[in-house]
A = this chain, B = another copy of it.
Amino acid sequence: MAVREHPPGVDTRHRLLEAAEWLFIERGYEALSMRLVTARAEANLAAVNYHFGSKEAMLQELLAQRLDRLNEDRLRLLDACEADGHVPDYETILGILFAPALQLGRSPAGGPAFLRLLGRVYSDASPFIRDYLQRHYRPIFERFFEAFARALPQTPRNELGLRLHFALKALSGMLAADDMNDLLAELSMGQSLGDAELLARLVSLVSPALVAPLGNPRQVNLIEQLLRQSNQLAETAQPGSTEPDRSRGKRVVSVRAPR
């Protein structure tokens, strides 16, 4: 007879959250099923609904546990840097956004793969995750937006929005990548970097998107040439419109591999 793996005392609730976190990091929200979670946590299928009430409630608790702390730290840091009317410059604000994230990534409070979790959360397409972020962290985002706006007063607000959108998409996309640990390693390029150097590199990778001038005449000229050339090539290659229409109709028979 098999021995009992987990005496009831050992917190199932905790194991569930842990399993859910890994699965969410690895496969995203849509692919996260209760059966997968409970199997990995070596718990019963009904455990999630018993302890949390629903799948979404469990995810909410998981996210709150990990993200609330992060955003509190960010806000505190921003408050400190804006004390007595000081206006931090845009690179500092980027640093304020990134530094607590890296620190939580190194601490047990953030969890073992905090940065990957962050990336997933910010790039997951599911409405549940998106709504959650909106509902809980919009004020924080707006606080930082205002800070950026003060740091870059010459940039129109809507263009600033665009540039921020762009920069943060890039960052979260990078953090969410499966090979993001390799990527971070490459950022340090063989040398063993301290956190400060690593963050400085991250900031300098992101910050040009906020302040780079948009299109000088030389570039416009270059692009115009390319557009002409592209048009011309496309014309000579495909004088008609689209594809020659494919073979149509006829019930498609499906040949399935045997189980």
| Interface residues of A, Cβ cutoff 8 Å to B | 11, 13, 28, 30-31, 49-54, 57, 61, 65, 69, 72-73, 76-77, 80-81, 91-92, 95-96, 99-100, 102-103, 108-109, 123-126, 156, 158-159, 161-163, 165-167, 169-174, 177, 183, 186-187, 189, 195-197, 199-201, 203-205, 207-209, 212-216, 219-220, 222-224, 226-227, 229-231, 233-234, 237-238, 241-243, 246, 248-249, 251-254
A187 to chain B, nearest CB (A): 6
Assess the B243–A209 pair: CB atoms within 8 A: no
Complex-state Cα separation, A237 to B109, whole angstroms: 14
Complex-state Cα separation, A182 to B57, whole angstroms: 34
Residues of chain B within 8 A of A166, CB atoms compared: 170-171, 173-174, 205
Residues of chain B within 8 A of A52, CB atoms compared: 252
Residues of chain B within 8 A of A126, CB atoms compared: 30
Complex-state Cα separation, A51 to B220, whole angstroms: 45
A48 to chain B, nearest CB (A): 10
Residues of chain B within 8 A of A65, CB atoms compared: 242-243
18 A-B pairs with C-beta separation under 8 A: A28-B125, A30-B30, A51-B252, A61-B246, A77-B233, A100-B234, A103-B231, A108-B242, A109-B241, A109-B242, A125-B125, A165-B173, A165-B177, A169-B177, A187-B214, A197-B220, A203-B215, A205-B212
Kindly report which residue of chain B lies nearest to residue A248, judged by CB atoms: B13
Q: A173-B123, A201-B214 are in contact. Are A189 and B229 (CB under 8 A)?
A: no
Assess the A183–B196 pair: CB atoms within 8 A: no
Residues of chain B within 8 A of A100, CB atoms compared: 230, 234
Assess the B186–A158 pair: CB atoms within 8 A: yes
Complex-state Cα separation, A110 to B76, whole angstroms: 48
Complex-state Cα separation, A220 to B91, whole angstroms: 11
Pick the residue among B13, B81, B91, B251 that contacts A219 (CB under 8 A): B91
Pick the residue among B13, B53, B72, B156 that contacts A237 (CB under 8 A): B72
